[in-house]
Amino acid sequence: MSDQLQSRAYHALSDREVMESLNSNAEVGLTTEEVARCYEQYGWNELQFKPENQLG
């Protein structure tokens, strides 16, 4: 990631700038290999805690 992008908050970047900084492509998505690598590094995309029922 470039120094210019590192110094800016992601919420202030355009979609294109974020995708470029992450070396990603929104139209293509992740390859099978990238998915496997992310799973090994981060695990499943799930909450680590169960939210309390706020309606009950």
List the chain pLDDT tens, one digit each, 56 residues. Answer: 455 545 668 888 999 988 888 888 889 888 899 889 989 998 888 877 776 776 75
pTM for this prediction = 0.46
Number of domains in the chain: 1
What distance lies between CA 16 and its chain's CA centroid? 14
Q: DSSP assignment, residue 51?
A: P
All residues at 6 or more sequence positions from 12 whose CB lies less than 8 Å from its CB, including other chains: none
- Domain residues for the domain of 22 are 3-42
Q: What is the pLDDT of residue 53?
A: 73
Q: Would residue 47 count as lying in a domain?
A: no
Asked if residue 48 is part of any domain, the answer here is no
**Does the residue 27 lie in any domain?**
yes
